[in-house]
Structure 1
Amino acid sequence: MADLFDTAAREPSAEAPRPLADRMRPQSLAEVIGQDHVLGPEGPLGAMLAAGNLGSIVFWGPPGVGKTTIARLLAQETDLAFVQISAIFTGVPELRKVFEAAKLRRTQGRGTLLFVDEIHRFNKAQQDGFLPHMEDGTIVLVGATTENPSFELNSALLSRAQVITLNRLDLPALERILQRVEQEEGALPLDGPAREALTEMADGDGRALLNLAEQVIGWGASKPIDRETLTTRLTRRATKYDKSGDEHYNLISALHKSVRGSDPDAALYWFARMLQGGEDPRFLARRITRMAVEDIGLADPHAEALCLQGWQTYERLGSPEGELALAQAVIYLALAPKSNAAYTAYKAAMGAAKQTGSEPPPKHILNAPTKLMKEEGYGAGYAYDHDAEDGFSGQNYFPDGMKRGVYYVPVERGAERELKKRVEYFAKLRARRTEDG
């Protein structure tokens, strides 16, 4: 009886109709396109195969880049039984059957490569269930995930598997896939711009490209189709963006760093990408305001106010008109002078406060509303700054016995140029008062 969990026993017959994406599936690792950094002689998989020692792996990458195909070919290359399951449809009873079948197979002298699609969807207990079977060699686990493994997978499982990142397919790789299609199916009826548009629509997903190409072939066009006709007939593929997943954090990081890098065009691009992906503009308004505080700071005090005004404008106008106010804030921040001096000073002061614990203020700056407090020396020796020369007493305001901290170091940019002069001015006065005292 065929093994119910061995996908090799359930391949469709040669006569069954097969989608183009299935027909074009690579038959060897050498045919895989776009993942040379992994499969090449110096890549992790290339090195494993050369050493004849295939260990457990977690493939991390976007959809349509070859995770399933590479896993299948690894089993073929190492003569392991290929078993494929999906975390979405597999529960504990099914997993037990998979492991029992793998144990039986092992007693017969054959190992098992267990490919688990969407492995991040298994809960902690289910993930832990793989560990003993990985350790005793019953299975070689190959997991696939589109989510960041460091956030979604147990550390115990990650310690027993190598995470290998598969890249989004670039335009040259997608073009090579089209050329392979044309070797089997004949030239696609597309002019140059339409061909470029087709690869752009795939958005780095090889499987999506093959599905789009199959639609084009099915039209049976007798003359080349232009870009306008193609984009009218084909529905553009939705941008890959998960508001609660890894892509969410990748894009907000790209936006923040583009602003910090004073590139308004790149900042607007990532801002637009997030909006098109369905991001809540209020989240963007909050993060933009944070950028003003963290990366512009006192180099341009107006930046924070402009962000808050943009946020308020969005709340009043809503989408899509209000998003323009946020876009203006993004441009302003990108072009504003940058300083993280206040942010750095805040973190340094927080560190010092944590380190010094409960040190009290010096008594001369404490109020003394009662006779007892006055007798205890509260307020004694306090110098009222308005009565001092230059309106500056130069007294110590740190706890007694604590070395004076220097946290705020303004930069020579924007409005902080003037603040730097004032910091230096007061430092000189303080040193003079100390010498005189």
Structure 2
Amino acid sequence: MTDLFASAGLDRDAPRPLAEKLRPKSLADVAGQDHLLGPNGALTRLVQSGSLGSLIFWGPPGTGKTTAARLLAHETKLHFVQASAIFSGVGELKKIFEEARGRRATGQGTLLFVDEIHRFNRAQQDSFLPVMEDGTITLIGATTENPSFELNAALLSRARVLTFHSLDAAAIEKLLERAEDAEGKTLPLDSEARAALVLMADGDGRAALTLVEEIFRAARPGEVFDAKTLTEIVQRRAPIYDKGQEGHYNLISALHKTVRGSDPDAALYYLARMFDAGEDPLFIVRRVVRMAVEDIGLADPQALVIANAAKDAYDFLGSPEGELAIAQAVVYCATAPKSNANYVAYKAAMKLAREHGSLMPPKIILNAPTKLMKSEGYGAGYAYDHDEPDAFSGQDYWPEVLGRQRLYRPVERGFEREITKRLDYWEKLRKEREGN
């Protein structure tokens, strides 16, 4: 019945969201994806070749993935079918595949667009493989998550991954202009508020148009909003950040690498992004402790002390005051001298331990609590270092099979310069005493 009303045009006056009204009618109208849909874009070339192949569209919400799939079906004369991994089960997929086989028998191909394809489990993803291989369907799957982690290797091997980018300011501005043309009126915003609206959209075209609708509804005749009033009216969108998904890992990785790269300003920016998105401060400070031991180490032993103190300060003060302690630790670590010498030495020691098994330490450093052990030479010849000149005996403590190894190599930065001097001095004494 609904389709009958629609075919008669009776649904034209029904209310529709602005994003739906402005859905592009051609691939060239999709905003912000010129690398895919421009004159030399990847999708443009596929359309010109007359053959798509199966595709995975990877990108944030509101970047045109669904629209592009719909338009590709039209351009390539394929029957368009849309499914969602949230609402579709194996039963519905089987029905879609059977209908596609029927169309194929009459010479009509099918483009199946699956939104949120990463939400299908591994077995459900495998169900696409036979119909992709025999040409029953051309699959376009859309995902906001990294396909490398979320999709089967078998599915990825049969599909090309294309990345959709967040819309930049120019693309969002183009959408605002289209909305004004469609509504026949100008957005009631001053220049500062308009710029603020672009930022609020956070690269999401659908969100930008939803905000435009809210503004048009809220504005009284002749009223023009400044940035402060705009913020009060539309509030603001939550940042694109899911603590269980990729955005979470991207930002903590960015924080870690900017600290390692000694850029305190960039580190503070990514820290603020995470605080702003509601990340657990204890998750962040745990990573700062890791930075202190992994990337700074003994080049500045105070880094670990300060990172742990930031955790204690946050426990004591709570939010928001405790977050300042974490920021202080981040800046300290970013500006500290860097060394991963201890980290590298530890990994080398673990490798050595695994490869050589349960080697006995030399008997000189084993205790001899029994007569039998003493008779076996346990502890014989051990030199007590505090009784030796310079409190250093220079004895070889390594298992005989291995011989002396060099694992820890301090860098010429920070406090490790002093450690290098000590190690060099002890090595000189060791050689002197071995020679004597």
> Contact 1:362–1:399 (CA<8 Å) still a contact in 2?
yes
In 2, Cα distance between the equivalents of 1:12 and 1:397? 90
Q: CA deviation at 1:63?
A: 0.6
- Note if contact 2:51-2:76 (Cα within 8 Å) is conserved in structure 1: no
In 2, the alpha carbon distance for the partners of 1:67 and 1:304 equals 45
Give the whole-Å Cα distance in 2 for the aligned partners of 1:149 and 1:403.
48
Report if aligned partners of 2:367, 2:379 keep a CA contact under 8 Å in 1: yes
Deviations 1:343-363 (A, max 9, x none): 111111111111222222122
**In the alignment, which residue of structure 2 is the partner of 1:208?**
207
2:159 pairs with 1:161 = yes
Change (3 A) 1:202 1:120: same
With over 3 angstroms needed to count, the CA separation of the structure-2 counterparts of 1:304 and 1:92, relative to structure 1, is same
Secondary structure of 1:115 counterpart: strand
- TM-score under structure 1 length normalisation: 0.93
8 Å Cα contact 1:189/1:221 also seen in 2: no
Q: Per the alignment, in what secondary structure is the counterpart of residue 401 of structure 1?
A: coil
Q: Assess if the C-alpha contact under 8 Å between 2:24 and 2:30 holds in 1.
A: yes
CA distance in 2, matches of 1:167, 1:363: 64
2:27 to 6, 26, 29: 29
- The residue number in structure 1 matching 2:421 is 421
Which residue of the partner structure matches residue 374 of structure 1?
A: 374
Q: For the Cα contact (< 8 Å) 1:341–1:411, is it kept in 2?
A: yes
- Map of 1:344 onto structure 2: 344
Identify which of 35, 41, 45 aligns with 2:43: 45
Comparing 50-59 with 213-222, greater Cα deviation is found at 213-222
Corresponding pairs, count? 433
Deviation, 1:42, is 4.8
Which whole-Å CA distance do the structure 2 matches of 1:19 and 1:261 have between them? 46
- Alpha-carbon displacement from aligned partner over 1:244-300 (angstroms, at most 9, x marks no partner): 111110111111112112222222221122122121122112111111111111111
1:271–1:303 Cα change, 3 Å:
same
How far does residue 223 in structure 1 lie from its aligned partner after superposition?
A: 5.3
Per the TM alignment, residue 409 of structure 1 is displaced from its structure 2 partner at its CA by: 1.3
Paired amino acid for 1:16: A
| TM-aligned CA deviation for residue 146 of structure 1 | 1.1
Question: What are the superposed Cα offsets for residues 104-128 of structure 1, whole Å, 9 maximum, x if unpaired?
Answer: 1111111111111111111122111
Number of the residue aligned with 1:173: 171
Residue 14 of structure 2 is matched in structure 1 by: 16
SS across alignment from 1:344 = helix
Distance 1:426 1:21, change over 3 A: same
Name the residue aligned to 1:228.
Answer: 228
1-side partners of 2:10 and 2:406: how far apart? 73
Aligned to 1:55: 53
Q: How many Å separate the matches in 2 of 1:97 and 1:406?
A: 66
Residue type of the alignment partner of 2:187:
L
Residues in 1 aligned to 2:410 and 2:322: alpha-carbon distance in whole angstroms: 34
Which residue in the other structure is 1:66 paired with?
A: 64
- Unaligned runs of 5+ residues in structure 1 are none
Q: Displacement of 1:10 after TM fit?
A: 12
Q: Which stretch of structure 1 is more off in the superposition, 196-205 or 209-218?
A: 209-218
SS at match of 1:142: strand
Letter in 1 for 2:406: V
Q: Secondary structure at the match of 2:431?
A: helix
Deviations 1:188-209 (A, max 9, x none): 2322111101101101100111
**5 Å matches for 1:22-421?**
22-40=20-38, 42-184=40-182, 185-218=184-217, 219=219, 221-222=221-222, 224-421=224-421
Tell me which amino acid in the other structure corresponds to 2:414: G
- Structure 1 runs of 4+ with >6 Å offset: 8-12
* Alpha-carbon displacement from aligned partner over 1:378-398 (angstroms, at most 9, x marks no partner): 223333323333222222222
Higher mean alpha-carbon deviation, 216-225 vs 73-82, is at 216-225
Distance 1:366 1:317 in 2: 48
Cα distance in 2 for residues equivalent to 1:42 and 1:400: 66
Identical pairs, percent: 63
Change beyond 3 A, Cα 1:221–1:292: farther
Gaps of 5+ in 2: none
Q: TM-score scaled by structure 2?
A: 0.93
SS at match of 2:345: helix
Tell me if structure 1 keeps the 8 A contact 2:264–2:334: yes
Please tell me whether the aligned partners of residues 201 and 236 of structure 1 are also in contact (alpha carbons under 8 angstroms).
yes
